[in-house]
A = this chain, B = another copy of it.
Amino acid sequence: MLGKVAVVGAGMTRFHHSLHKNKNGRELFVEAVLEAYSSVDKGIDPSEIGAVFTGYFAPTFFEHQAHVGPLAADWVNLTPKMGWRTESACASASAAFITGYMAVASGLRDVVIVGGIEKMSNLTTEEVTDALSVAADNEYELPAGVTFPGQFATMANAYFKRYNVTWEQLQAIPIKNHRNGALNPKAQFQETIMDRAVKVGKKLGVKFKDELDFLKSEYNRVIAWPLRLFDCSPISDGASAAILVRGELAKKYTDTPVYVSGVGFATDSLSLHDRQTYTSFKSTMEASKQAYRQANVKPKDVDVAEVHDCFSIAEAIATEDLGFFKKGEGVKAAQKGITSIKGDKPINPSGGLKCKGHPVGATGIAMVYEIWKQLRGESGKRQVENAETGLIQNLGGSGASCGVIILRR
Q: Which residues of B contact A268 (CB under 8 A)?
A: 70, 74, 79-80
Rounded to whole angstroms, the CA-CA distance of A287 and B263 in the bound complex is 28
Is residue A120 contacting chain B, with contact meaning CB distance below 8 A?
Answer: no
Q: Which residues of B contact A84 (CB under 8 A)?
A: 86-88, 91-92, 95, 265, 401
* Least CB separation from A399: chain B residue: B70
Q: Which residues of B contact A106 (CB under 8 A)?
A: 1-3, 102, 105-107
Q: Are B138 and A79 in contact (CB under 8 A)?
A: no
Which residues in window 24-72 of A have CB below 8 A to B? 24, 51-52, 57-61, 63-71
Min CB gap A28→B, angstroms:
14
**Would A267 and B87 be within 8 Å (CB), given that A1-B1, A60-B60, A106-B3 are in contact?**
no
Interface readout for A240-270 with B: 1 if CB under 8 Å, 0 if not?
0000000000000000000000011111111
Min CB gap A146→B, angstroms:
13
Residue of A51, A78, A106, A283 ringed by the most chain B CB atoms within 10 A: A106
Is residue A197 contacting chain B, with contact meaning CB distance below 8 A?
Answer: no
Min CB gap A271→B, angstroms:
9
Rounded to whole angstroms, the CA-CA distance of A401 and B83 in the bound complex is 8
Rounded to whole angstroms, the CA-CA distance of A51 and B263 in the bound complex is 13
Rounded to whole angstroms, the CA-CA distance of A105 and B290 in the bound complex is 18
* Least CB separation from A130: chain B residue: B64
Q: Which residues of B contact A73 (CB under 8 A)?
A: 267
Q: Are A58 and B69 in contact (CB under 8 A)?
A: no
Which residues in window 94-143 of A have CB below 8 A to B? 95, 99, 102-103, 105-108, 134-139, 142
How many interface residues does chain A have, given as a range? 35 or more
Is residue A396 contacting chain B, with contact meaning CB distance below 8 A?
Answer: yes
Q: Which of B68, B80, B89, B105 is A66 in contact with, Cβ under 8 Å?
A: B89
Min CB gap A285→B, angstroms:
8
Is residue A408 contacting chain B, with contact meaning CB distance below 8 A?
Answer: no
Rounded to whole angstroms, the CA-CA distance of A106 and B83 in the bound complex is 18
Q: Are B400 and A1 in contact (CB under 8 A)?
A: no
**Would A70 and B267 be within 8 Å (CB), given that A2-B107, A60-B60 are in contact?**
yes
Q: Which of B60, B82, B86, B265 is A86 in contact with, Cβ under 8 Å?
A: B86
Q: Are A108 and B105 in contact (CB under 8 A)?
A: yes
Which residues in window 282-312 of A have CB below 8 A to B? 282-283, 286-287, 290
Interface readout for A136-159 with B: 1 if CB under 8 Å, 0 if not?
111100100000000000000000
Rounded to whole angstroms, the CA-CA distance of A84 and B90 in the bound complex is 11
Is residue A207 contacting chain B, with contact meaning CB distance below 8 A?
Answer: no
Q: Are B401 and A70 in contact (CB under 8 A)?
A: yes
Is residue A85 contacting chain B, with contact meaning CB distance below 8 A?
Answer: yes
Q: Are B70 and A270 in contact (CB under 8 A)?
A: yes
- Excluding A78-B267, A79-B282, A99-B102, 8 further A-B contacts by CB distance (< 8 Å) are A51-B265, A66-B87, A67-B270, A69-B95, A70-B283, A70-B400, A81-B266, A83-B401
17 A–B contacts from the bound complex (CB under 8 Å): A1-B106, A2-B107, A24-B139, A58-B60, A60-B61, A65-B137, A66-B135, A67-B88, A67-B397, A70-B88, A74-B268, A79-B266, A83-B267, A84-B92, A99-B102, A102-B106, A106-B106
